[in-house]
Amino acid sequence: MIDPDGIPPADAPREHHADWLELSVLTNERRAVSVREFVRELCLTGSTDAVLGDEAGGETDEEGLREAIAEAAFAEIDERFRSSGGEQAYPFEIGENSVRLRKGMDGSVYSFLLLLSVYGKDAGPPGMDGARLFEDVCAEASAAYLGGRHPHVKSRVFGFPRRLLPKAFPAALDALCRELGEGRGHREERAELPDQKDAKLDIVAWRDFEDRRPGKVIVFGQCATGGNWREKLLELPPPQDWCSYWMQDRPAVWPTRWFFVPHRIEMAHWFYACVHGGVLHDRCRIAQLAGQLDTGLASLCAAWSRWILKKARKR
């Protein structure tokens, strides 16, 4: 992840430079950054040294490199606009030579995810947990992918500490199985581990049928807000192992594993993340799916973001 107080080095992925551009737009007085400003910042920080090395060909080579970095970063910004679903979800307006914040969009879902990625889950106002907000957003995004607001579409935050489901793991799993209509509850012979809270399962979502019979699409999701997201890819066991170990009976159809992060994942790591974590939901995919958040949750995310931005803009 990027350092909010310094532009990424020249050899950083284009995703990091695009993150810095977006963050700069959110925090500077004009709420805009031009290509020229970005190129100048690259020059001032000397961050091109890592790429040019000691045997660089002089000023022309450096200038060309800085322009190439800027071009790649703005190309990434343009791709994010499309991947997030356009101007309804993406908070930045892309001009020919600049990026500008759309009016009122500093409280958007995308802005929340960007700030969570850069500043971390504990950066918000006292009593407001960024990780819990992220789980709630991911639960709504999961439901949206399965069809949105519909009587047969359900999503639940299973991650601890639980707010709706019972706090104790066995009781929470019993309640979940009743809602699913599958699994028959927790296995009583399984000893609860000392550090067991949710058995690494954060989100459960499903789409039912009118007949309520077993056999449906079920999602098991895991959320990771920190920069160590690669280490968490394998924390949630394969759904068939999780269900066989913790449930009295298996679901008729094994759940699908999903992985949620507030970051923009580089293409170099994308396939790996999908292979090991399941269907990957990065910042753009979540923003596209969670465009119509519950009003209360949207307000909480906006308040969390504006707390961060108020402090960042003062700096």
DSSP letters, 16-43, are: HHHHHHHHHHHHSTTSEEEHHHHHHHHH
Residue 94 sits in the same domain as residue 161 = no
Helix, coil or strand: residue 64 = helix
Residue 214 sits in the same domain as residue 93 = no
Query: Low-confidence residues of the chain, pLDDT below 50?
Result: 52, 54-56
- Inside any domain, residue 9: no
Residue 289 sits in the same domain as residue 140 = yes
Residue where the block lists tokens 């960042």 = 312
Residue 99 sits in the same domain as residue 190 = no
What residues contact residue 31 under an 8 Å CB cut-off, 6+ apart? 25, 100, 101
What pLDDT score was predicted for residue 182? 96
Could you tell me where the beta strands, DSSP code E, fall in the chain?
32-34, 92-94, 98-101, 153-157, 203-207, 217-223, 256-260, 279-281
What pLDDT score was predicted for residue 200? 94
Instruction: Find the domain containing 199 and state its range.
Output: 130-294
What pLDDT score was predicted for residue 49? 56
Residue 92 sits in the same domain as residue 206 = no
The dihedral through the CA atoms of 58, 63, 64, 70 has a sign that is positive
The dihedral through the CA atoms of 138, 144, 149, 152 has a sign that is negative
What pLDDT score was predicted for residue 62? 80
- Inside any domain, residue 3: no
Number of structural domains found in the chain: 2
Residue 151 sits in the same domain as residue 94 = no
Residue 146 sits in the same domain as residue 290 = yes
What pLDDT score was predicted for residue 160? 92
What pLDDT score was predicted for residue 193? 64
What pLDDT score was predicted for residue 279? 97
What pLDDT score was predicted for residue 55? 47
Distance CA 142, CA 152 (A): 13
Residue 60 sits in the same domain as residue 177 = no
- Greatest Cα pair distance, the chain, in angstroms, is 72
Residue 147 sits in the same domain as residue 273 = yes
Angle at 17 between CA 12 and CA 23, to 5 degrees: 140
- Inside any domain, residue 64: yes
